Chains A and B, each alone.
Chain A
């Protein structure tokens, strides 16, 4: 905002410059938010194509870059169909609520030390609150559609989001205890000083677990595979948006991908240092700060992980989903809250190995988990083949 403020002629009254800069920022921000999904959907199709040994879109525009634009234009021009017996008001209101819920989180996302719409002192609380807003929209969509599949999808999504909010909350609490503030900007500032002070790499074996719990719960909250049971296309046709067409469908789509970005960005802010570069030397080139670049790079990496999971894993069943939330993630989350609470009390400066030992160890842990998983897969294949013999 300061940048645009500086661009405006200095002889204008101050309030005009503030207003102008504010409106310009809002326009740029909202446009970026609204057009972002076009890019993410394109990325998703390309990632899927890569994983499935095919090419993906390539006809429309260079390398198919305009494919999603064409899709969006098609959706905009399509007639919106209202099913017989649908509650028309709620039917229209539902996608709006979902989109609003997804977009509102951007208000507190810090893209740089001063690139933030509002630095709410209850930022984390706000994120959790507005991201649950979409649940209301989903239930509304399911109910208003007058369709049994949509209703099933709505019920599933309500149960799922409410359940997974609790473990997500638990892992948020640990961060809040360490930082001592709910403001997202404060959380980022607490991770100043490069890679070794990111929360992912603090309290070595503990914070990686917190991060995994949060990311898993986040996946479930934005209805992504393997937790995509509310839309489960093979069971519920399309779940809560079965009856939607045209622009309203596009809004659901937009909301889904925006939520993905929000969850990824919040995870980056909480655990991966937000807009801090991995090394202080990389924080800016000349006088140009690279904060937004780093945050978006981290968020996009996490989005790629989400896509990776989606195109690899099968879907859980409803009861298994609840099992994971209540009997696996919640006990882990509660334990972590107690544990981190104690650690913050007794080791206010962190563990002795937090500095330059913690992060290689964490990366080694992830590497180790990766190898273990690979071994497990090999073993299960061997077993499957041996069973045949």
Chain B
């Protein structure tokens, strides 16, 4: 089922490898629907894909090597540039890992703001994922409806920290800025609009659409065992019906105090773990995030304002040691393995366990025997961001 790719195959198929009817189609790196600079080599027989092979690395920016040559807080802007669609989640994971290494405990006020930012970012990120997925299937309008709401989230971020995409917001031991006066009210306004208009409209226009269901519910089926064996995480894993969510299983930032459900795929319109299930999980997770946000905003309103940089160390210099910190980023479990040698102000090693990278590893298994149009649907349902795969 999943024969490993040997080294002599690594640079593409040769003419001799093909049957008479087969053709090689290069999809990407400049293709409208590969979600970045992913290149996929497809061995096609007419419209049917016999085999697919993803090529990654077009966006490699030496993140891990960079991280070794700057100090600990200096890594945070680089983490923002990994999964550039969900920067808050990246920097949060890194900050949590370093705080774990240095045994820093941040105040509940900071934790609540971090939860709000992370969940807003989750909605924004899933908006892109679900919206572009609709666009991959050919529905253009839901994408723009979702981007309209993402824009409101970015406005909130800009208001708070001055940046719309790459925030450098979650610092080691705190935050770069406190939320501005009136943030709670603006956040509530956004949630009202999201709950009342965008989410129901999305369900009407895209998720419940018959053509959309027909296109996605039968393809890219990933059984729970397969998903676990390929280390899928986040919505991809939950789409296969495995209720694994670090926010519930290993609560951080006080996630244990919020009431929300872990959304898992139901396989209502076809086999469990199909493209539809993965995408549906994302759509419903936006709703769950909104639920968390309502609670978090209520908590924040009642809290005493404290200095958000209170615990930020003057000089981040952990003792010799190593740490593995992980968190539930919008695209799955994002892990940072950090080694400190105890003498320098920069990390000895930072290794990232990227959810998109592992999601990409299952691609060639699921892609076999699909139609070309389904390949697009599969990439979209795995929701990869190449910035995080290549780093």
Tell me if B263 and A52 are in contact (CB < 8 A).
no
Please choose the segment from B71-79, B163-171, B210-218 that sits at the chain A interface, where 4 or more of its residues have CB less than 8 A away: B210-218
A313 touches which of B23, B211, B284 (Cβ 8 Å): B211
Residue in A51, A226, A232, A384 whose Cβ sees the most chain B Cβ within 10 Å: A384
Tell me if A235 and B33 are in contact (CB < 8 A).
yes
Tell me if B204 and A237 are in contact (CB < 8 A).
no
Residue B145 interfacial (CB < 8 Å): yes
Tell me if A226 and B373 are in contact (CB < 8 A).
no
Residue in A149, A228, A236 whose Cβ sees the most chain B Cβ within 10 Å: A236
Q: C-beta contact mask, B370-391 vs A, less than 8 Å → 1, else 0?
A: 0111101000000000000000
Tell me if B208 and A388 are in contact (CB < 8 A).
no
Tell me if B209 and A54 are in contact (CB < 8 A).
no
Tell me if B25 and A226 are in contact (CB < 8 A).
no
Instruction: Give the docked Cα–Cα distance between A387 and B145 (Å).
Output: 23
Residue B140 interfacial (CB < 8 Å): yes
Tell me if A316 and B23 are in contact (CB < 8 A).
no
Tell me if B32 and A234 are in contact (CB < 8 A).
yes
Tell me if B138 and A380 are in contact (CB < 8 A).
no
Tell me if A388 and B287 are in contact (CB < 8 A).
yes
Residue A111 interfacial (CB < 8 Å): no
Instruction: Give the docked Cα–Cα distance between A152 and B205 (Å).
Output: 29
Tell me if A314 and B139 are in contact (CB < 8 A).
yes
Tell me if A312 and B141 are in contact (CB < 8 A).
yes
Q: C-beta contact mask, B6-39 vs A, less than 8 Å → 1, else 0?
A: 0000000000000000010100000111000000
**Assuming the A-B contacts A53-B144, A318-B371, are A234 and B214 also in contact, with contact meaning beta carbons closer than 8 angstroms in the complex?**
no
Instruction: Give the docked Cα–Cα distance between A226 and B140 (Å).
Output: 11
B268 touches which of A377, A381, A383, A389 (Cβ 8 Å): A383
* Nearest-CB residue, chain A, relative to B206: A314
Residue B47 interfacial (CB < 8 Å): yes
Instruction: Give the docked Cα–Cα distance between A53 and B144 (Å).
Output: 8
Tell me if B209 and A314 are in contact (CB < 8 A).
yes
Q: How far is the CB of A224 from the nearest CB of chain B, in Å? A: 11
Residue A88 interfacial (CB < 8 Å): no
Report chain B residues within 8 Å CB of A312. Answer: 139, 141, 205
Tell me if B268 and A388 are in contact (CB < 8 A).
no
Q: C-beta contact mask, B140-155 vs A, less than 8 Å → 1, else 0?
A: 1100110010000000
* Nearest-CB residue, chain A, relative to B288: A388
* Nearest-CB residue, chain B, relative to A312: B141
Residue B207 interfacial (CB < 8 Å): yes
What is the predominant secondary structure among interface residues of chain B facing chain A?
helix
Q: How far is the CB of A166 from the nearest CB of chain B, in Å? A: 21
Q: How far is the CB of B379 from the nearest CB of chain A, in Å? A: 10
Tell me if A314 and B134 are in contact (CB < 8 A).
yes
Instruction: Give the docked Cα–Cα distance between A170 and B241 (Å).
Output: 47
Q: C-beta contact mask, A200-222 vs B, less than 8 Å → 1, else 0?
A: 00000000000000000000000
Report chain B residues within 8 Å CB of A317. Answer: 214-215, 371, 373-374
Tell me if B47 and A52 are in contact (CB < 8 A).
no
Q: How far is the CB of B141 from the nearest CB of chain A, in Å? A: 5
Instruction: Give the docked Cα–Cα distance between A117 and B372 (Å).
Output: 45
Residue A7 interfacial (CB < 8 Å): no
Instruction: Give the docked Cα–Cα distance between A152 and B266 (Å).
Output: 35
Residue B57 interfacial (CB < 8 Å): no
Q: C-beta contact mask, A305-327 vs B, less than 8 Å → 1, else 0?
A: 00000011111111110000000
Report chain A residues within 8 Å CB of B203. Answer: 380-381, 384-385
**Assuming the A-B contacts A226-B138, A226-B211, A237-B32, are A387 and B266 also in contact, with contact meaning beta carbons closer than 8 angstroms in the complex?**
yes
Residue B261 interfacial (CB < 8 Å): yes
Tell me if B376 and A234 are in contact (CB < 8 A).
yes
Instruction: Give the docked Cα–Cα distance between A316 and B371 (Å).
Output: 12
Report chain A residues within 8 Å CB of B374. Answer: 317
* Nearest-CB residue, chain A, relative to B137: A314
Q: How far is the CB of B219 from the nearest CB of chain A, in Å? A: 9
**Assuming the A-B contacts A52-B145, A232-B373, are A320 and B138 also in contact, with contact meaning beta carbons closer than 8 angstroms in the complex?**
no
B215 touches which of A225, A316, A380 (Cβ 8 Å): A316
Q: C-beta contact mask, B252-273 vs A, less than 8 Å → 1, else 0?
A: 0000000001010010100000
Q: How far is the CB of A238 from the nearest CB of chain B, in Å? A: 9
A314 touches which of B204, B211, B263 (Cβ 8 Å): B211
A381 touches which of B136, B139, B204, B263 (Cβ 8 Å): B204
Instruction: Give the docked Cα–Cα distance between A383 and B120 (Å).
Output: 26
Report chain B residues within 8 Å CB of A318. Answer: 47, 371, 373
Q: C-beta contact mask, A367-380 vs B, less than 8 Å → 1, else 0?
A: 00000000001101
Report chain A residues within 8 Å CB of B215. Answer: 314-317, 320
B208 touches which of A53, A149, A234, A384 (Cβ 8 Å): A384
Report chain A residues within 8 Å CB of B31. Answer: 237
Instruction: Give the docked Cα–Cα distance between A377 and B200 (Å).
Output: 11
Q: C-beta contact mask, A123-149 vs B, less than 8 Å → 1, else 0?
A: 000000000000000000000000011
Residue B94 interfacial (CB < 8 Å): no
**Assuming the A-B contacts A234-B32, A237-B32, are A225 and B138 also in contact, with contact meaning beta carbons closer than 8 angstroms in the complex?**
yes
Residue B135 interfacial (CB < 8 Å): yes
Residue A71 interfacial (CB < 8 Å): no
Q: How far is the CB of A369 from the nearest CB of chain B, in Å? A: 14
Report chain A residues within 8 Å CB of B25. Answer: 148-149, 152
Residue B157 interfacial (CB < 8 Å): no
10 A-B pairs with the lowest CB-CB distances in the bound complex, closest first: A315-B138, A380-B208, A52-B144, A314-B139, A314-B137, A234-B33, A388-B284, A381-B203, A314-B138, A314-B211
16 contacts between A and B (CB under 8 A): A148-B23, A149-B25, A152-B25, A234-B32, A235-B376, A311-B140, A312-B139, A314-B134, A315-B137, A315-B138, A316-B214, A317-B214, A320-B215, A378-B204, A384-B208, A388-B261
Chain B contact residues, CB within 8 Å of chain A: 23, 25, 31-33, 47, 134-141, 144-145, 148, 200, 203-212, 214-215, 261, 263, 266, 268, 280, 283-284, 287-288, 371-374, 376
